[in-house]
């Protein structure tokens, strides 16, 4: 019998809005925790390059310059990679990740979330091989782009996958686990680079690069055994597979009420969305991401714009100024003897503050913590800026003032790590309806990488002291602080509260409420009820094209 004995099951939904999900099991936590591991790629890959570019062996190999004599100040000063090469090798990763996230958003609807992540690991491995083998700029850049593609795949689709399988009560916390892994990735990269930086052989840069193979092997192997997202199967019209996958992630038998109710709700919501925006051609389905009126809170274009802005605003908080240019900035403050150590401390603060969000994101909700976090960063950055232009100026040589600046930079990192860091990812995984979800998440993630790249490219000019540079020094914190005001306003006016709702309920809430009133919205009906799936069911083995007609007819009755 097709479906190994499950064929006769007919799925019916519930009218009870509180019964849409099974109790949370340890298994559900473990599956999500494993998927969060994808964050390590993100963090590690963005973390190792800066350190490698400053390694003496690497500089000698790439430039052909001899090691300078410590007493020859001019030679020491000239011993570095040309700025254009530094900029190219750093920013070319973003090109790959930008494209990777968009392509993956597309692919995940065709080959599945899990397979797309595994493909991302494969691509990443090829890029790593090229990077490890490289002894010159050409191959290194080729490797960077290919690795970037892989990271783009993984960074977008892990969010999608986690949001789709996580139980609603802990979805925010679980996705915050991904951010935690990003921070661990950055820390690990710093530690490995720190350990190999003075080696006088190719191991100095090859070891930090090659360590990444491990991440690819672990994630790909794990995903082979994890279930696919049930929502992907519903989108494909494969209800039997959807029921099996849901039963695995929820740890309940296929014919249990929990699985039936939740699956019916996913099916009914998908059908509802298809009625609103029918899937047409391939290009038409891309165009769907931008359909509707920007002034309507639940239109697709509005959701896509919120996703794009969400990630843009996260980058414009200026957090990567600290992580990418921290060492240079701390050195410029004059009184610090070991800027690397300070960089390591800021990375550690980032790691240690992120777990706070596991609790706050579910306790206070997404909106609240984005607004609190944004306001906190405004205050911290302005304080850093004010100290920086007064008592903290390098010419004053005031240790206490510089220490205070570093302390406030660390508070700023804590605010980011507990709020905007994780929440930007949580929100983009939740606001899109199933028909455009994977592309929406892909586009939003590519916005993260786009702005990440812009910041990497422009910051050296903002704080540079050369001819034509803005030479902002600590004043740059006024810029980030002002941008954080914008981020906070964005959260207040445009980000809806999604805490505790199923993805289908989020869809309903966005239809019936506005961002500012969303926190008070309560689920009052189910899609299953609306689409007539509560009195008559849909058979699990129904062919894909029949599901639609059956449900639409029922809804019309
Ligand atoms: C951001 C990265 C940043 C990291 C720091 C992520 O959420 O997207 O750009 O480097 O957090 O922890």
224 vs 11, 27, 32, 115, 342, CA distance in Å? 28, 16, 14, 8, 40
* CB of 346 shorter than 6 A to ligand 1: no
E strand or H helix at 538: strand 538-539
Per-residue pLDDT reduced to its tens digit, 507-547: 889 989 999 999 999 988 887 777 777 777 777 777 767 76
* CB of 421 shorter than 6 A to ligand 1: yes
- As given in the structure block, the two tokens for residue 401 are 């003032």
Query: 538-539 and 10-11: which strand pairing?
Result: antiparallel
Residue 245 and residue 230: Cα distance in Å, rounded? 5
* CB of 182 shorter than 6 A to ligand 1: yes
Question: What is the residue-wise DSSP string for 199-237?
Answer: -SSTHHHHHHHHHHHHHHHHHHHHHHHSPPPHHHHHHHT
- As given in the structure block, the two tokens for residue 302 are 């509005």
447 CA → ligand 1 middle, Å: 13
Rounded (to 5) percent helix, strand, coil in the chain: 75, 0, 25
Place of tokens 């570093």: 406
Burial of 400 (0-12, 13-18, 19+ CB in 10 A): exposed
Nearest atom of ligand 1 to the alpha carbon of 354 = 12
Closest CA to 259 of 274, 272, 240, 273: 240
Q: What is the mean pLDDT of the chain?
A: 88
Nearest atom of ligand 1 to the alpha carbon of 311 = 8
Per-residue pLDDT reduced to its tens digit, 105-126: 999 999 999 999 999 999 999 9
Place of tokens 């936590």: 29
DSSP summary character for residue 63: H
Residue 153 and residue 160: Cα distance in Å, rounded? 11
CA dihedral 93, 94, 97, 101 (to 10 degrees): 180
The answer to whether the beta carbons of residues 197 and 55 sit under 8 Å apart is: yes
For 469, other C-beta atoms within 10 Å of its C-beta total 12
pLDDT < 70 positions in the chain: 1-8, 19-20, 335-336, 544, 547-557
HSE-up of 202 (CA within 13 Å, CB side)?
9
Helix (H, G, I), strand (E, B) or coil at 11: strand
Residue 146 and residue 144: Cα distance in Å, rounded? 5
Three-point CA angle 196, 201, 206, nearest 5°: 60
Closest CA to 79 of 95, 92, 63, 94: 63
Nearest atom of ligand 1 to the alpha carbon of 421 = 7
CA dihedral (149, 150, 156, 161) positive or negative = positive
3-state secondary structure 252-284: CCCCCHHHHHHHHHHHHHHHHHHHHCCCCCHHH
Residue 224 and residue 187: Cα distance in Å, rounded? 27
Instruction: Give the bridge partners for 539, in sequence order.
Output: 10
Residue 534 and residue 537: Cα distance in Å, rounded? 7
Place of tokens 């690069």: 209
HSE-up of 178 (CA within 13 Å, CB side)?
31
Helix (H, G, I), strand (E, B) or coil at 390: coil
Task: Output the pLDDT for position 467.
Answer: 78
For 80, other C-beta atoms within 10 Å of its C-beta total 15
Residue 336 and residue 320: Cα distance in Å, rounded? 21
Residue 151 and residue 126: Cα distance in Å, rounded? 12
Burial of 14 (0-12, 13-18, 19+ CB in 10 A): buried
The answer to whether the beta carbons of residues 153 and 120 sit under 8 Å apart is: yes
DSSP summary character for residue 10: E
* CB of 320 shorter than 6 A to ligand 1: yes
CA dihedral (417, 420, 423, 424) positive or negative = negative
Helix (H, G, I), strand (E, B) or coil at 539: strand
HSE-up of 377 (CA within 13 Å, CB side)?
34
446 CA → ligand 1 middle, Å: 13
Could you tell which of 91, 159, 320 is best to mutate to test the pocket of ligand 1, judged by most ligand atoms within 8 Å of the CB? Answer: 320
The number of residues making up the chain comes to: 557
Nearest atom of ligand 1 to the alpha carbon of 424 = 7
Instruction: Give the bridge partners for 10, in sequence order.
Output: 539
Report the chain's terminal Cα–Cα distance, integer Å. Answer: 32
For 116, other C-beta atoms within 10 Å of its C-beta total 28
Using a cut of 0.85, tell me whether the model's pTM lies above it: yes
39 CA → ligand 1 middle, Å: 10
349 CA → ligand 1 middle, Å: 13
The answer to whether the beta carbons of residues 366 and 172 sit under 8 Å apart is: yes
Nearest atom of ligand 1 to the alpha carbon of 417 = 12
Residue 434 and residue 185: Cα distance in Å, rounded? 30
């Amino acid at each position: 019998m097709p479906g190994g004995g499950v064929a006769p099951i007919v799925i019916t939904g519930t009218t009870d809005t509180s019964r849409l999900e099974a109790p949370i099991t340890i298994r559900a936590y473990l599956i999500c925790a494993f998927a969060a591991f994808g964050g390590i790629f993100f963090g590690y890959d963005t973390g190792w390059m800066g350190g490698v570019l400053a390694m003496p062996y690497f500089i000698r190999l790439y430039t052909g310059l001899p090691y300078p004599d410590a007493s020859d100040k001019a030679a020491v000063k000239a011993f570095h990679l040309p700025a254009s090469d530094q900029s190219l090798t750093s920013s070319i990763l973003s090109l790959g990740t930008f494209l990777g996230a968009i392509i993956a958003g597309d692919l995940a609807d065709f080959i599945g979330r899990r397979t797309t992540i595994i493909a991302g690991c494969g691509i990443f491995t090829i890029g790593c091989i090229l990077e490890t083998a490289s002894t010159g700029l050409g191959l290194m850049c080729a490797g960077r782009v290919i690795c970037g593609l892989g990271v783009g795949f993984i960074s977008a689709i892990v969010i999608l996958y986690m949001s789709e399988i996580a139980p609603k009560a802990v979805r925010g916390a679980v996705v915050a686990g991904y951010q935690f892994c990003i921070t661990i990735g950055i820390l690990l990269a710093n530690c490995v680079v720190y350990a190999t930086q003075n080696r006088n052989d190719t191991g100095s840069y090859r070891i930090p690069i090659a360590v990444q193979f491990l991440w690819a092997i672990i994630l790909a192997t794990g995903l082979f055994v994890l279930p696919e997202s049930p929502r992907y199967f519903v989108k494909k019209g494969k209800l039997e597979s959807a029921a099996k996958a849901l039963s695995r992630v929820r740890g309940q038998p296929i014919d249990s009420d929990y699985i039936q109710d939740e699956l019916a709700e996913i099916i009914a919501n998908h059908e509802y969305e298809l009625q609103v925006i029918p899937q047409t051609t391939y290009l038409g389905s891309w165009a769907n991401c931008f359909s509707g009126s920007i002034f309507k809170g639940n239109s697709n274009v509005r959701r896509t714009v919120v996703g794009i802005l969400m990630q843009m605003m996260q980058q414009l908080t200026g957090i990567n100024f600290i992580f990418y240019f921290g060492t240079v900035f701390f050195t410029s403050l004059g009184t610090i003897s070991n800027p690397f150590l300070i960089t390591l401390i800021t990375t550690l603060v980032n790691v240690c503050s992120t777990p706070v969000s596991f609790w706050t994101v579910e306790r206070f909700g997404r909106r609240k913590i984005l607004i609190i976090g944004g306001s906190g960063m405004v205050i911290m950055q302005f304080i850093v800026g004010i100290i920086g232009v007064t008592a903290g100026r390098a010419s004053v040589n005031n240790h206490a003032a510089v220490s205070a600046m570093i302390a406030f930079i660390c508070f700023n990192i804590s605010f980011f790590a507990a709020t905007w860091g994780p929440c930007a990812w949580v929100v983009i995984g939740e606001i899109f309806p199933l028909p455009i979800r994977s592309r929406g998440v892909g586009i939003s993630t590519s916005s993260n990488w786009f702005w990440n790249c812009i910041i990497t490219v422009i910051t050296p000019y903002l704080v540079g002291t050369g001819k034509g540079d803005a030479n902002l020094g600590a004043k740059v914190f006024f810029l980030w602080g002002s941008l954080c005001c914008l981020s906070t306003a964005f959260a207040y006016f445009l980000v809806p509260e999604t805490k505790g709702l199923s993805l289908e309920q989020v869809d309903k809430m966005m239809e019936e409420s506005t961002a500012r009133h969303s926190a008070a919205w309560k689920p009052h009906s189910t899609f299953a009820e609306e689409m007539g799936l509560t009195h008559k069911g849909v058979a699990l083995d129904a062919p894909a094209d029949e599901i639609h007609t059956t449900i639409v007819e029922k809804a019309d009755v």
